[in-house]
Structure 1
């Protein structure tokens, strides 16, 4: 039965995710707040794999799942999300990406806080996971002690440190009326950075938002061809989007607020620049990129940057002073340090795994058999040697 007035609309921009979208949709269908209270809008951005057929099959099974097939590929999530917003009927709206998953009680938790506080929006935390390694990762921004407690009906002037938190439209349940009152939409044509503009629009227009220190979104880190390395992507274009978003947002924030948001942007920039892939780009392009990001680095708060970027702070200082070659030299040292740290961690894990095996009961029990096998091999080699002599 189709919902007349759903409580919540979940909007998903979709492109070539046949391997993941079913798991994502099943996690939404299984929400404890009751799927009968949820409307799902899937905006297919001209997928070329089996994704459209999967979406259609879900829409046939569930009347509260709507699929919109675009006729031309947008190449960025902004327009599909805006189309989803235009068609949303829910009292509240949240976004999701079709290769991620939602904890079963996530929407119930957010809705409970929203209903109790009547906030403009309520947000939670992201937990990243990797299927290949089985590892999970909590983004460093949520480890700040400020983010370890609940906040009810606060605003960004009271808690400006929220602007340094990893931006994501997928962690925020928002009143539909609030979005429409302030005409909050996504910039279109940006392959990255659009979340920053959307998030800041929420913060700067909200008189009261709430936060719960609980994971309400599972972000999948992928190693497939859809997650290309920086050198395979147009790194300059990717970083330009970050810069564009930062400079646009700067106009709507005061000095203190921007100093925190600057941390958010610098984290995105440094993640891409302080990477081995960056050094594979030509020197000329690297210099152009540093020139391009200087306006974002300018006038950074040294105390705040020192708190979040102890190692990278000298690099940022050199860049701010327009010492580009020196900046690149220092950046190479950061890249090398990170690489050796990763290698050292891998070796440590391998050693610990070996030690665990050697200390296990099964290893000790089978020691006599391994000794016999070694002796047999040794006798065989000696025999071969004698025969050959």
Structure 2
């Protein structure tokens, strides 16, 4: 039977892009391929070139490679089962068709089985990711050295992947993969063997390279959106392994509990299944999950490493839901809250300006608990703020609300304060203190300073004293010592930059530094225009524009003023001294050059963030932009409608933060008549992110605009009326721009010409939902909206901006109608119609070329953090 030492079974479906690398990794093993390795490829109904490529390899190695062809796609389980029937190797592996294995793997596995073959039926190797995600699998802690592990002694050393495992053929016998499940079939297969023999080998001499596809179209990545991920897995995975365990041992061994819980945690982490399961199906799944959790020890749930503690709490409370309203349930609550530190309040904002301490804090709670603030033992007034976007859901069930609140505390220099937090819960009163990442305070540092005050964390209290340099130096030495001792990830960056900060502090403490920024690789927005205006203002303020040195705008910006290289050491150090960060993109990971190691610098920062925007806000974007995640001192708007909308949705910025002053870039808009250009500038769709080319090619968004830019009637009319057609989509569309069909007339803007140039010279704009329409309309130039369906990622019904009654041009649903309007505008010289001119006048408050002046003066008047 054992013609070969190894049989490798590969279930291949539409893998023509990757399967050559997969097969080459087998052929190039240090263990001789032709003598030792049989490859069984099951071509599972592929519709691409997978079959042809495999035949080419078989022609080179006819003895080693066998091909089985399925007439239709049957799935990996069925394909592997077919492959098993043809296996002639002593050891079996199930390599995936888009992955590969390191060269010494098979030799290492062979030696391992030779040394330990009498003890084990399975040997596994560590998994390393490549492609969209790089790094090691979180379970790679098992592979410090070659060893055999008894899972009864080390139950957390679970094994989930058949592809990274090697099996003794004799041990498999008549075992098959369960064809009822398309995900987790590996886990069921492996653990049936482990229930028979719970000893497993971990071999550090090989590596399995697992492709995380950029389009995330692999079965395991897309499966949570399929009904079978919930229904079939409950019965054929979780319940099946529990039943088999009880048959074998009379109970569920801990290693099976850890295995099941590892996958359950990801299932419970799915927030909504309303579009996947019916109400009855969800009720049935939840009932079965409850029964399954009765076989999982609390300690196994507590020790899961990959989910937030509050989700662990939800799982534990779900496990004990039958005890609700009993004394026993109160004991469970106390145990869970204590073990998981759920009695913790998180500070989002902690800042002292002009002797007033402002705190924005949040208490995640499953019990409707409220928080209170005490200063020197006396309760101070707080104001609750509702952030519904912070509520947490599991399987369409809201399990946690958030009690968020703000407080302002007057301080007097020279006095000392102790601040602590308490809850109104009888289960737990005193609250622990922690800090969310955007907060300018962190446990890693342990203190925060201003010019006049020093705050530090001590025994779940924040102590505030008047700052003196001796106390500050002591705190800093303690901080640096702790960083060096604990060696937390990021300390290698944090320690040297903090040292540089303190060395130059005497020379920098009184410097006023403003940092301007659009995007790291681009200077083409409000920050650029305001930076240009600012050069002649306040010479005592040092102004830098932050930009990647490889940006095509680098030398243009150097001619305007000081430019600092994005994420350079100089940028990281000066950012700690910056007074203002003035940006068109307020994302923390963009504006803070040390964001990945932010906790090592919190407490030193004194910057205020001014958000200039990069487009008119017309939709509810409060899930992304809000007071707890992006603490803004100024939020710029350009329209009364836009201004008003910020207070209608849960952004929760103070009224004085929102400024209606006009966009700086509007000052540079000019209505030029020197070119006859029609721009097609659609937005994009989030659902297309990380999708395969095949998926994009079949999407409505792609097909609609691909058809438009190749519309013969449109092209002939453009030629007739002497208009140039330019396709300039959203930057994210350029990731798949080459999929669009090209013709000799329509120009695709591969050079990414500046938007300002397009606005100034363009004659007509066609878009769907992009905010570029506002810039175009600002110049009284016509706009057409091509809204073929409601497939936009924002809820149009929730937007204050009604395209039919407020839009600056006609709204078209079908292509022929759109082309009719485009031709009509060509005929009249692309003049905006009076109805839409009146809408433009009603929408924009300012059209006086003084936006830069107003915005700059408003920034100048903002209070300073010192």
Instruction: Please report the TM-score for the alignment, with normalisation by the length of structure 1.
Output: 0.75
Is residue 239–residue 269 contact of structure 1 (8 Å, CA) maintained in 2? Answer: no
**2:533 maps to what in 1?**
none
**Is the aligned partner of 1:289 residue 2:285?**
yes
Superposed, 1:73-152 pairs within 5 Å as: 73-74=73-74, 76-118=75-117, 119-129=120-130, 131-132=131-132, 135-143=133-141, 148-152=144-148
Whether 1:258 and 2:253 are equivalent positions in the alignment is yes
Contact 1:272 1:278 in 2 (8 A): no
Question: How many angstroms apart in 1 are the aligned matches of 2:105 and 2:93?
Answer: 11
Gap regions ≥5 residues in structure 2: 325-365, 367-392, 403-435, 438-516, 522-544, 563-666, 671-848, 850-866
- Residues 50-81 of structure 1, C-alpha deviations (whole Å, 9 max, x = no match): 2111111111121211101123432x211211
What does 1:229-244 align with in structure 2 at a 5 Å threshold? 235-243=226-234, 244=236
Aligned mates of 2:220, 2:176 — CA distance in 1: 29
- Report 1:1-389 matches (<5 A): 5-36=3-34, 37-63=36-62, 64-74=64-74, 76-118=75-117, 119-129=120-130, 131-132=131-132, 135-143=133-141, 148-152=144-148, 154-162=149-157, 165-180=158-173, 183-206=174-197, 208-213=199-204, 216-224=207-215, 226-227=217-218, 235-243=226-234, 244-253=236-245, 254=249, 258-276=253-271, 278=273, 281=276, 284=279, 286-308=282-304, 310-322=309-321, 328-330=397-399, 370-374=557-561
**Deviation at residue 362 of structure 1 after TM alignment:** 6.5
Given that 1:41 and 1:84 are in contact with CA atoms closer than 8 Å, whether structure 2 keeps it comes out as: yes
* Aligned-partner Cα distance in 1 for 2:520–2:216: 33
* Counterpart in the other structure of 1:336: none
CA distance in 2, matches of 1:215, 1:278: 39
Tell me, in whole angstroms, the C-alpha distance in 2 between the residues paired with 1:166 and 1:236: 25
Please report how far the alpha carbon of residue 361 of structure 1 lies from its aligned counterpart in structure 2 after TM superposition. 12
Cα gap change, 1:311 to 1:112, in 2 (>3 Å): farther
Aligned residues of 1:125 and 1:142 also touching (Cα < 8 A):
yes
Point out the structure with max Rg over C-alpha: 2
RMSD: 4.0
**TM-aligned CA distance change 1:85 to 1:282, over 3 Å:** closer
Question: For the structure 1 residues 298 and 316, does the alpha-carbon distance in structure 2 shift closer, same or farther, using more than 3 Å as the test?
Answer: same
2-structure distance, mates of 1:139, 1:172: 14
Checking the alignment, whether the CA contact within 8 Å between 2:152 and 2:198 is kept in structure 1 is: no
More strand by share: 2
Between Structure 1 and Structure 2, the one with more helix by share is 1
Task: Map Cα deviations across residues 208-248 of structure 1 (whole Å, 9 max, x no partner).
Answer: 54222455211111243733798886533112232221211
CA 1:255–1:279 in 2, change beyond 3 Å: closer, same or farther?
A: farther
- Provide closer, same or farther for how the CA distance between residues 293 and 14 of structure 1 changes in structure 2, counting only shifts above 3 A: same
- Cα displacement (A) at 1:264: 2.3
Larger relative contact order (Cα-Cα within 8 Å, sequence gap ≥ 6): 1
- CA distance in 2 between counterparts of 1:229 and 1:277 reads 18
| C-alpha distance in structure 2 between counterparts of 1:138 and 1:12, whole Å | 23
Cα 1:110/1:277, change in 2 over 3 Å: farther
* 1: CA distance, partners of 2:82 / 2:220: 29
Q: Can you list the C-alpha shifts for 1:25-70, whole angstroms capped at 9, x where unaligned?
A: 1111111112122110001111122211111111112121110112
TM-score by length of 2: 0.36
> How many equivalent residue pairs?
349
Describe the SS at the equivalent of 1:161: coil
Distance 1:374 1:168, change over 3 A: same
